[in-house]
Structure 1
Amino acid sequence: MDLPSAWYNVLPDLGFDLPPDRPSPDRDRTSLRVQVPPALIRQELSRKRWIEIPPEVADRYAQWRPTPLRRAETFERRIGTRSRIYYKYEGGNLSGSHKLNTAIAQIYYYQRAGARRLTVGTGAGQWGTAVAAACAVFGLHCTVYMVGSSYRAKPGRRSLMEFLGAEVIPSPSDRTDSGRHAATSDPGGSGSLSIALAEAVEDARSSGDYFCTGSGETYSLLHQTVIGLEAMEQLDRLGTVPDTVVASIGGGSNLGGIALPFLGTTLRGGRPVRVIAAEPSACPKLTQGRYEYDFTDASRLTPLQLMYTLGHDFAAPPDHTGGLRYHGAAKLISALYHRRLMEAVACSQAEAFATAADFAEAEGLLPAPESAFAIHATAEAALQADAAGRPGVLLVCVSGHGLYDLTAYQAFREGAMGRPSSESNPVHPL
């Protein structure tokens, strides 16, 4: 199959406008602002259904795209389902995850806007690795503030970022006011993604460089739609369409990437599709959060967005190893969830890892911890469909591989994460 020539923009098909951002009430504390390339701002606001992928970005995509779509037949037999499960695998690139799809695009636009150095905050390291890889491609310097617990637990990710030329700093650090303030209440230096983002923002503001916002902005979800567009064509060639699309949710980029093209078809009057966001019970922003305006990081300087949030000061437990630790959901995903256009389910890390172990043994692929939550939710949904007498077709995004996360899987095998509970949390009622 050919690469998609354009990204899919769901905004024209929504039938409603996304709530506008609000300026930070503390914005007067600094005369600097986060700089975003005009091209990305135009994409954020565009009402064009299709936005052309620049040739320079498409050339890089062609190094690993299109990505494979596979049927998990052995896993189906292992869990005893009559439903069909297909998975789209996004781990076959240098960064090891789907995040390179938007990192390549964003850094291309940052370079064209004149950026020479980018600062970025990262949780488990997927976003930081993707930005470091993209900066290496386009010749930009990169500084990564990485959540302290992940910095120590994931030396492989840190080593790869440094190999790619990035400077990697454990957060909270003593390089920023945000980091020094956070360290007073976090003597162990576990950190949180919100603090890491705040440090990256402050660094960019004080140096005059650019802060690379991350994977929750609407333009980031736009770039990720190459996942769903490819999956749609691949399934069409197999003569099938999914009843249910599942992905994990941190900020929302891989969920949006695989689900929005299918949801867009539904919004335009096509076949209905069920979309399930899978999140950890350690960071249950959709299933237990509030829909309100909140800061996107702990600096309180960035604009407020209307989102499902646990609060910008929220920190996931230190033993939560996955990257799904962001306190809020992307405003686009939040709006869809608020309007009951998608569902959410939460489960424990131990439950997700147990299912991931079954998947790895059955399919010969070790999923990223983030993907483990999606695979677990998919297995649960398949068995629920069987029990209702309606075996279906499920599509799940395996957003990355778990080879950088072997210490987490070892902790699971040694019982350091506790045991799976007898029941997963039910799907959050609509």
Structure 2
Amino acid sequence: MKLLIQNGTVVDPKSQKVFHSDVLTEDDRIVKISENISPEEAGEGTELLDAAGCYVMPGFIDLHVHFRDPGLEYKETLATGGAAAAHGGVTTVCAMPNTKPVIDTKEKVEEVHNRAKTESPIHVIQLGAVTKGQKGEELADIQGMAEAGCMAISEDGKSVMNASLYRKGMKEAKKAGLRIFAHCEDITMVEGGVMNADAKAEALGLKGITNSVEDVIVARDILLAKETGVRLHLCHCSTKDSVEMIRLAKEEGLPVTGEVCPHHFTLSTDDIVEDDGNYKMNPPLRSKEDVEALKQGLKDGIMDVISTDHAPHGEKEKNCSMKKAAFGIVGLETSAALTYTELVDTGILTILQMAEKMSYNPAKILGLEEKGAVEEGTTADLVIFDPKAEYEIDKETFCSKGKNTPFDGRKVKGKVRCTISDGRVVYQEV
């Protein structure tokens, strides 16, 4: 199968170049990047895609999603989550292991990987848990899961509170060549909180979650990574002190990276006007000061990655008071538009930096040398992105089963027109 993408502007974060060019793919590879590749040169049977006025970027790689499959398929499945990813320009995801049952063995990782090959239109990397059943009592089958290709282990949804056990898990991960993806939350300090601890929480009569709930575990995990030498990726960072601690870790040369979610750099608690479960997420929306620190961290390169923490829920689980609502927000189908609107169109990031945060850096963290760039010989995972398209987010158009978003009706700029995974068109705007 051949695809010829014509008239586009290539954004290649690996070479740090933005240039007008055509792109020819054959089977699952990019085979030629050049100006004015003719259909005749491409060969008979080549499918033509017109990217005039659009960027041709490496497919986005989301290091942090919840596909809920197996066990919670009423919220999401490999098929619906994969379709949502394709709709959002995402060609590779890392699926968190807090499913039912928890993914904590070699066999469970293999089962998801095998199913994803036929059920999902995009690449699914199933991550493994740090402890059995995510109970924090005994290490999971870390070596076995590594052999099954899990690439990282995570207790996401919680932290391993037993620091000694966690350190042992880090040592096993390093031995197996895996990374640690850390959800940083001291559960003993949450104390029933449902949103950021500030004046807005008091006004709404809701219990708050302080920044220290995150910051204490960020500090602990960085120190443990320093001791063990494991590659540590800090998920969904939300506080200014998390940014500062990552900066200090990098200055010391530690193998530490950090991610920010679009909801954390777009919204603050000032945007919460009523007790609405769609604004309940973990970590919570923070202050404007934190939001500005996250943006600056992304701009300065301290924060490496933009991921979504895509967390779909059923309607009844979110359309209620924050006191009862589940934590979580969907994000796969809004992340590119929010990133472009809030960061690129405002001049905080360049389009190259957007591609770095959403494609190239995630590929480097995972060690995926053939992804995250637009160059000859690499995997044909691509997105055609229209920076001029302006529209309102409509949750009813989501491919995800989850509609839990506070962004419904929000005006944004930038739209995915086409997504290509392994040289196949897996989403195209009609």
Task: Give TM class, smaller chain.
Answer: under 0.3
Of Structure 1 and Structure 2, the greater helix share is in: 1
Of Structure 1 and Structure 2, the greater strand share is in: 2
Name the TM-score, length of structure 1 as normaliser.
Answer: 0.25
Name the TM-score, length of structure 2 as normaliser.
Answer: 0.25
